[in-house]
Structures are given as C-alpha cells and as structure tokens.
Amino acid sequence: MILILGGTTEGRMAVSTLEEAGQPYFYSTFSDLQQVAMPHGQRIQGGLDEEAMQNFCQRHQIRLLIDAGHPFATQLHHTVAAVARRMHLPAIRLERIYPPRSEQVHWCADYADAVRQILKGGVRRLLVLTGVKTIASLLPLREGGVDCRFRILRRDSSVEAALALGVKESELLFYEADEPVPLLSGYEAILTKESGLSGGFPEKVSEALGRGLKVFAVCRPSLPDGFVVVNGPYGLRRMVERLLPEFFPLHSGLTTGTCATACALSALTGQSEVQVTLPNGESIPLRVEQGEGYTYIFKDSGDDPDVTRGTEIRVSLEEREAFDAALLKEATADPDFTPELPVLIRGDEGVGRITLPGFGYPVGSPAINRVPRQMIRQNLRPHLRRPVIVTISIPEGRELARRTFNPRLGIEGGISVIGQSGIIMPFSKEGFLESVRKCVQVAAATGLSHVVINSGAKSERFIRERYAELPGQVFVEYGNYIGDTLRIAHEEGIRRVTLGVMIGKAVKLAEGHLDTHSRNVVMNRDFVAQLASEAGCPEELVAQVRNLNMARDLWTLLPEPLVPGFAATLLRHCQSVCAPLLPDGHLEILLISEEGRIFGMEN
C-alpha cells in the first residue's frame, strides 16, 4: 500500500498517476478543501506527526511514502523522512519544476533575510504574496515603516489568523484558491516565495518586473536526506514501478527519442548518468554506456509490445568550430534548426530515410520526428560551446523496420526515431494515435484525398481487393480508435474516407461506442436483438440473437435472405454515429464478413 502526503497541485498529480494502476492507496491532506477525484484511493485528513504517521503506516502496511506537499512545508518533509528512515520505507519526493534563478530577483535565504533585504532596500510600499502563515515572520517590516498589503485566501480561518496578529482588515487583500495573483499598481516591490512553475512563480516575477517593481523571493528550503526526488508524473510512475514493481500491472518505457537524447547528452557532457528533460518539462535520470567513439543505451520499452524493445540506440557526436556552407545547407533543411542552437542531427545505419512527402521534412531526410529533434536540441542547449553534429544509428534498425509501418509509409532502410511525450505508456493510446496521424498525413501527401481506414490486416486484405488501384499509403489501421481516427482525418483535411469494419466492432460502433476496445465496452445483446428486430427478423430469431455470445455468429445464425437487410440496418446506425466526425467529407462504411463479403453504405 502507498501513502501520499498531498493537498497541492503535486498531490493531485500523484493521485492521477496512481489511479492509472487501478490499485488502492491512501491520500492524506491537512484539510478537506482540495477536491480531487480518486475512485481507487482513500482520503484521510488532518495533520500527522511522526508517531501518528508511523502508527498509520504500521496499521495499514504502508510500503512506500510519496511526499507531494508544498515545497515550504518543511515540517511535513522532515516528518516523512524520519518515518521512512525509522521504518526502512522508500520515500519519493514529488518536487516542482523550478526555472533558473534570475539575477533580477533579490533572493532571500529565509523570511528573516527577506526582512533585512527589504528594509535595507528602502522599500516603502510592499505587496506580500507569501501566505497568511508567514505574516508573523514579516511583522518587523511594519515596525520598520514599510506599508504592507498581505494577499491571503478568502477563508474565515485565514482572516482570523491575520487579525489575531494585529493586521488590520484594510491591510488584507483576498483571492480564491487557484486564482492567478494580479499585481496591483501603487507598489514598489513584491515579496513572494520560490514556488516553482505550478505555483505561478515565473508569471508573478515577470509581471512585477514588467511594472518596474523590485522582486524579493524566499528560496525554497532544502529537503532532508533520504528522498528519491522526481519532478513530474512520468518520473513518479517510473520510480513507483522501480520501488514497488507490483503496484502497476504494466510498466512504462522510453521512446527511441528519449534514448537518443540521453546518448547525445552523455556524449556532449562525458557523464554516464544524465538527467533528460522531457517535453513536459520534467526530468528523468538515465544511465548511458560508452563505446568506442559513441554512446549507447538499450531501449527499455516497459510492457508495451514494441518491436524496438531492448534495441541498441547509438549516438556519435562531433564538435565543430563552425559549420561550413555544405553543413549549414544540410542543417537548415531541418525547419527547426536555428543558428542560435547549432545542432545538426543526422541518421546513420538503421535509421530510416524519408522517400515520400508528408513528414514535414524534405525527402531524403532521416526519419527522426520533430519532438525527438527538439528534445535533443533543448537538452544540449545548456552545455553547447560550439556547433555539434549528432549522428544517431540503430544497428538492428533495418531488420526491425520490416515489422513496422515504415515500408508502407515510404520510410526505407530502417526504423524511425519517434516519441511525443518521451515515455511509452504500456499499450499507449497516445503513441498509437501518433502513428495514425502520421499515416494519415502521408496518405494526404499522395494527393488523392482518399483514405481507407480499417481495424487490421484481415479487413484490409479484403478492402484492398475492392480498391486495388489505390497505393498502399492510403490504407490506415485504426485498431479500436474509430472516432479518434475519423477526427484526425477531418483535422488533416481528408475529403473522402472509407471505413472498413468487421461485425464484432460494428455492433459496438452502431450503439455509439467510438472506441471499441473490449476493456471499455462489450457486445450489448439487447441492442443487437433490437437491430435484428428493426431489420424485420421474426421474433423467434430475435430471441436467438439475444442469446449470442459472439457477434460473428450472426453470419451463420441469420438466414441468407435476411443478411442484407440486417447489414443495412447495422450500417445505418454506424453511419449516424460516425458521419458527424467528418462534417466536410464523404464517408463510406463497409461491413466485412469473415469470408470477405462486403456490404456498403455511403453518406
């Protein structure tokens, strides 16, 4: 069992992450003010000192602690660390993401130091954004002649606490939870605390500096020893998977883009342990091996059925004093290249080459997607001293490519370096739909404006016979994500879509289920019986339909004269569900039998 200590944005993030496991856990907050959906978690509230927390952990067999409290909740951090140490429990600290400290900000070690710096700076009118609990530490400012306004949450308890300290009601400004903090005119400075990205710190600083105000910020306190620190949902999940492997039934993995980024970062810095920043801003630690003239990593795909599982990803890196004309021409073929960030990214052995339009890069470019390119550049940025050439190779890539969509997409000679989030979620919908979108974009680039979508190889084989004149690039698999694929087709400007569907998915689709995966929906016998009745089947046959276990048995149960009518009824319902998703296009739906017989309907 896992215990989260939260109440913050990070607490909500921890809950969301653990909910993916579908396992029970506890979520502890000081108050009941935070609303958070947690179908599998149990909420507890009230402060826990060391003894209470230890007793709770013993009573509920807690095996992992997650501190997702506010960065300034120092007592909580020390309590969690002490209990973890005493009970020999692993403890994860879910930290915030902090921007680099600006030299324009007056950084204060603590509130006493803030008082000293503000008085020394001669500030006469100050807006305080550090919360009601800090007012007591800041009262010397009033004694020093500083006119303070304290911005606090509009809660009775907060107002009472401020008034009890001698603060006048006229000195209080109010805001609601999660409301942005506007900076009012008439102040010389603000006092805030280093609350990170989720605390809106950059926005407060930017607005204050833009108004010509001085900014005083109290530095976040250091954490006690003993925590494993992560700063985002992916890092949290991967650390839980490592420390309590059985909690998540399926484990996450790394994209080829993340692996290549780690290798490039290691090659540039010379470090074997690197922190890779993901597209969402969080960072994860990775270990990279050193070869002769290159760095490498074996890809961890988690429990995703990925053909690149365990594949070696290599990177060699060459620094140049400057790019000559030929290199600059090659580099600028990449639309994301900028002279301010002079990183030329190449593909070598096992990395596919683009041979068709539709990828956003010129034909002949390496099949390295945009997000991995951006990850490499952004991760190398802080360490760049001169222009660099990053060359990615995947020794097994040519062989692996035969088991991917690449040949159909016109990517030859190897696999693609891909990844949107940097992390592979097992059986990830995000990753699958990324591939669907890329396939649709390639199909659109053929100029035909006709895409044929189908559930898999079997249905595609039958439809290809019907549309033998169409090139392979226009045939796209939707798996179970019919609705999402139609939306993508609409977004990519496809004017004509042929949807091939077999009867098991068709009866789910007809009822309105645009994701037909069995984990989300099963065949509704009563609905299928209703379809049979609408199609004019006799009552005794409708009763038999209601007792079916498999939709495909309809092909043998229905007498041949009734099959066309039932197929038309089923397709009519499918059409009414799907047509709104392609409002500007022509949609044809084909129902395919087990033997390849095809029934059609168009809008």
Q: Which one of 390, 424, 458 terminates a domain?
A: 424
Same domain for 271 and 372?
yes
Whether 358 has a pLDDT exceeding 90, the answer reads no
Q: Which one of 401, 424, 447 terminates a domain?
A: 424
Asked, for residue 184, whether it belongs to a domain, the answer is yes
Which helix or strand (DSSP H or E) is residue 398 part of? helix 397-401
Asked, for residue 51, whether it belongs to a domain, the answer is yes
Same domain for 366 and 445?
no
Sequence-distant (6+) residues with CB within 8 A of 133 are 161
Same domain for 339 and 450?
no
Structure-token match 């942005």, residue found: 180
Instruction: Tell me the pLDDT tens digit for each residue of 540-567.
Output: 999 999 888 778 889 989 999 999 999 9
For 503, the token pair is 């009867």
The total of other beta-carbon atoms located within 10 Å of residue 338's CB is 11
Q: Where are the alpha helices (DSSP H) in 226-337?
A: 233-243, 256-269, 325-332
How many domains are contained in the chain?
4
Instruction: Tell me the pLDDT tens digit for each residue of 146-191.
Output: 999 998 887 888 888 888 988 888 888 887 655 555 566 789 999 9
pLDDT interval class at 602 (50, 70, 90): low
Q: Where are the alpha helices (DSSP H) in 467-502?
A: 482-491
Same domain for 280 and 387?
yes
Sequence-distant (6+) residues with CB within 8 A of 146 are 118, 119, 123, 124, 125, 126
Domain range spanning residue 540?
Answer: 439-602
Same domain for 420 and 293?
yes
Asked, for residue 432, whether it belongs to a domain, the answer is no
Same domain for 384 and 477?
no
Backbone angles phi, psi at 125, to 5 degrees: -135, 120
Q: What is the mean pLDDT of the chain?
A: 89
Asked, for residue 248, whether it belongs to a domain, the answer is no
275: left (phi over 0), alpha (psi -120 to 50) or beta: beta
State the CATH number of the domain containing residue 288: 3.30.2110.10
State the CATH number of the domain containing residue 235: 3.40.50.720
Whether 261 has a pLDDT exceeding 90, the answer reads yes
Asked, for residue 79, whether it belongs to a domain, the answer is yes
Asked, for residue 283, whether it belongs to a domain, the answer is yes
Same domain for 463 and 360?
no
Q: Which one of 424, 454, 478 terminates a domain?
A: 424
Instruction: Tell me the pLDDT tens digit for each residue of 501-547.
Output: 999 999 999 999 988 875 567 788 899 999 999 999 999 999 999 88
Same domain for 214 and 299?
no
What is the per-residue DSSP string for 28-72? EESSS------TTEEEEES---HHHHHHHHHHTT--EEEE-S-TT
pTM of the model: 0.71
State the CATH number of the domain containing residue 155: 3.40.50.150
Q: Where are the alpha helices (DSSP H) in 333-367?
A: none
Same domain for 313 and 376?
yes
- Write down the pLDDT at residue 433: 82
Same domain for 303 and 390?
yes
Q: Residue 274, class by beta-carbon neighbours within 10 Å (0-12 exposed, 13-18 middle, 19+ buried)?
A: buried
- Write down the pLDDT at residue 134: 92
Which helix or strand (DSSP H or E) is residue 377 part of? helix 370-380
For 244, the token pair is 């309590």
Taking the C-alpha atoms of residue 212 and residue 189, their distance in angstroms, rounded to an integer, is 8
Whether 231 has a pLDDT exceeding 60, the answer reads yes
Whole-number Cα distances in Å, 462 to 92, 138, 459, 592, 600: 52, 76, 5, 8, 13
Taking the C-alpha atoms of residue 276 and residue 376, their distance in angstroms, rounded to an integer, is 9
Asked, for residue 429, whether it belongs to a domain, the answer is no
Taking the C-alpha atoms of residue 351 and residue 375, their distance in angstroms, rounded to an integer, is 17
Same domain for 465 and 411?
no
Same domain for 588 and 454?
yes
Asked, for residue 430, whether it belongs to a domain, the answer is no
- Write down the pLDDT at residue 428: 61
Contact predicate 181/175, CB 8 Å: yes
